[in-house]
């Protein structure tokens, strides 16, 4: 069975420039819509910002839609140790999300150059829909979204919805 048709991935910026409640609202409505179209699996990359918001949204909606699953695809375990600047609450959220996810995929034992790029490609390669929060195309999110478009995924940019 090819599960890509039932899978959506998330990509977005670590820093969100608008009130999180507005993003969560649009994200929740978007995830509900793709669940209505048969999506059951939701892949997220374990980063701060949009990845964490998306993961929390999937877990919250799982109460109402028990058939859905959060799949965390981590570039390497405990990425916050390499990245630095994570707050204690972000680290606690990271561990909570790992424990709550239906599946955790860890691509490498430790950091290596290109590992985030590999994580993003893995998410896209296993999905048919890419739910993005992209306000800047010159970014990792922009690169991931371009790759998703090249691979024929439907792109839903919820940041674009914020102005209208």
Residue 54 lies in a domain: yes
Tell me what the pLDDT averaged over the chain comes to.
Answer: 94
What's the pLDDT at 118? 97
Provide the CATH number for the domain around residue 61: 3.40.50.450
pLDDT value for 26: 96
Phi first, then psi, for residue 68 (nearest 5°) are: -90, 160
63 in a structural domain: yes
Residue 38: inside a domain, yes or no?
Answer: yes
Tell me which DSSP letter residue 20 carries: H
> Would you say the C-alpha torsion 76, 79, 82, 83 has a positive or negative sign?
positive
Please indicate, yes or no, if residue 55 is contained in any of the structural domains.
yes
Q: What confidence tens digit (pLDDT) does each residue in 31-63 have?
A: 999 999 999 999 999 999 999 999 999 999 999
- Using alpha carbons only, how large is the chain's radius of gyration in Å? 15
**Averaged over 93-109, what is the pLDDT?**
97
d(CA 65, CA 59): 10
pLDDT, position 2: 81
Q: Decide if 140 is inside a domain.
A: no
The alpha carbon dihedral of 82, 133, 129, 100 has a sign of: positive
Number of domains forming the structure of the chain: 1
Q: Give pLDDT, residue 160.
A: 60
Given a cut of 70, whether residue 11 has pLDDT beyond it is yes
Q: Is 65 exposed, middle or buried (0-12, 13-18, 19+ CB in 10 A)?
A: middle
Taking Cα atoms as reference points, which of 107, 108, 159, 156 lies closest to residue 9? 156
Domain that residue 57 falls in: 3-135+145-163
pTM: 0.94
164 pLDDT more than 80:
no
What pLDDT score does 163 carry? 45
């Amino acid at each position: 069975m090819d599960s890509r048709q039932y899978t959506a991935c998330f990509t977005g910026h670590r820093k969100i420039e608008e009130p999180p409640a507005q993003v969560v609202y649009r994200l929740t409505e978007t995830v509900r819509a793709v669940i209505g179209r048969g999506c059951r699996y939701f892949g997220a990359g374990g980063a701060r910002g949009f990845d964490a918001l998306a993961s929390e949204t999937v877990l919250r909606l799982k109460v109402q839609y028990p058939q859905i699953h959060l799949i965390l695809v981590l570039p390497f375990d405990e990425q916050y140790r390499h990245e630095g600047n994570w707050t204690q609450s972000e680290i606690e959220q990271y561990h909570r999300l790992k424990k709550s996810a239906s599946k955790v995929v860890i691509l490498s034992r430790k950091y290596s150059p290109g590992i985030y790029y590999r994580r993003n490609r893995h998410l896209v390669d296993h999905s048919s829909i890419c739910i993005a929060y992209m306000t800047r195309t010159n970014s990792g999110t922009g690169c991931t979204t371009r790759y998703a478009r090249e691979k024929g995924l439907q792109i839903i940019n919820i940041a674009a919805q914020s102005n209208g």
